Structure 1
Amino acid sequence: MKRILNLFILILFLSVHAKAQSVSVEATIDSLEILIGEQTKIKLRVLAGSKQKILFPQFPDTLVRGVEVLDTSKPDTVYYNNKERIEIEQDYIITSFDSALYYIPPLEVFIDTIKYESNPLALKVYSMPVDTLNPDQFFGQKIIMKTPFVWSDWYVFILCFVLLAPVIYLIYYLSKRLRDNEPIIRWVKVEPKLPAHETALQEIEKIKGEKIWRQEGRAKEYYTSLTDAIRRYINARFDINATEMITSEIIEHLKQVEDKEALKDLNELLQTADLVKFAKYDPLMNEKDASLVNAIGFINETKKELTPEELAAPTEIKVVEKRSLKTKIFLGGGILLFSISLIALVIYIVKQLLLFIA
């Protein structure tokens, strides 16, 4: 029984020893001698079983005193024997700024929590050779040289400032349009010129279609719309600024160009409208109908057809678009974002100019 136990221990020891023999850790260095500030590379190579856990050493910034680690590469892995064996290489870029002979101790690698060490290395760092026998070869500091002015160096900045002028004007234009609730692009619709009486009759037909006079409490609104249409007709037909005149002034001016019989119905209409607007008079339904008839009758009695030359002249009608609150917020946000971007661009250009001048 004791012999069997000793045999088992021997087999276990041999298996562990064989496993340990299967691990290889080797370190090499590209150059054993460098000048101050030059760089060289240490290559750490580990050969082990593919199922073993391998932990490479990590150096934050210093390998040994006087030798700095600049960078650590990613492990390079190669498999052998149907992926039963694995070889991993990792590079460490090192440098030194002190001339000396440095001893680099073995690098420690942990494999399945067992520590393995590589072979030690050495690094010789030389200082720059100085010819002390010929001091006349040493020169003092050079004076500061001013950069000559070249227009080609300023083309980009000049172009930026030239482009800023229309951009600033565009921001002002958009802001003003947004504030005044006007369209950014004015659409102009050209239509043939209509006679004054046709325009007035179209306005009255629109008033008839709305049927304001049949609604209770809207007499003032009805008479205001009706008299405004008549006043604009008088202005266009007789070249009398009726929109700025009171009833008596309109009648007096019209007496000079029209007979009194044609002005009788107009005078009645305007006086009734004054009573409604200023004396809160509430006319009957037949009075409202009569006012509408009087307005149409006055236009038909005083209308004047346009000559062929006047009909050929087009009339420009500007179409004004009203924006919703959502559209205003969207445009305002866009203008604000664009302005901030422009300011940032100007600051950047100014900084670059100052750096260039300095």
Structure 2
Amino acid sequence: MVALNYKSVLKAVCLSIVLGTSFGLSADNVVVKARMDSTAIWMGEQTVIHLEMVQDKGQTVMLPVIGDTLVSGVEVLKISKPDTTDLKNNRFQINNDVLVTSFDSGFYYIPPFKYILGKDTFKTNELSLKVVPVEVDTTAAEMDIKGVDSPEFVLWDFIPEWIWYVLVILILIAAGVFGYIYWKKHKIAPEAIDEKNLLPPHERALSALSALKESKLWQSGQEKEYYTKLTDILREYIDERFHVNAMEMTSSQIIDTLRRNDETKAVNQQLKEILEMADFVKFAKMRPLPDDNEMAMRRAVNFVDETKPEEPVISEIENKETAESKDSDGVSQVK
């Protein structure tokens, strides 16, 4: 009877150890993380937080409970339905997107999102969001409110309507004559055209980046001017190369637009890191390290090189035919 009790106790202890170890491994196999499309936005602009969780099949993990606000000042506009992807090997991934915005400028700390499996809690990485204020002209014009006066005699009310049409036509003719004279006087001669404007967009962009590198702005403490000129060069290149109005778009809008372009998918992440670093320097007054400044320049040059149009390749047959035609022309002339 004592031996039976000893064996029962031993089996119970072994079973509890196995079950505890199994649950610990399952818990350790849960991986969660969070990332944000843009960490710096204008006041009133929107950005998306992507939540990802990878777990074993058969586990029941409680997703984070998200209210109307993440923190005071950061509002939740929309939460997408969970999207499940089968990763094979008895594991799958659940994705959630959270659309947020803020109407108060400042720097916000977003705490980790919590996933619960049994008694274990898994936290994502923490996030931060910089909201930049939009400058508004608050100058209000003074209004002088007076009482209603009786209408005065106005001569224009007694002029026939057709006279106004004649005056409009005469003004248009005079404007046309003046414009033609001005154009003739200030017409730009062909030799006055800047040859740089005749270069392809990628050559002008690479030339401007080289000049910016030689100016050594960030080496003299002018990081804000350096990143302003760097992003302006890239925005002008994107505008001319892909016909995207990048000069009037925010950083996140440019990234979202180019993400759908097959020619920019491979280097879109590099452009995103350049624009995010530039936003932090220009709006959050961050002082990047020298390695970050040099990396931004290398990424800009690589972005232009990787997205420039491919040059037409002349086949060997075409080269041979061209050479033969030149030789035949030379023989005929000698004869």
Smaller-chain TM-score bracket: 0.3 to 0.5
Normalising by structure 1, report the TM-score: 0.34
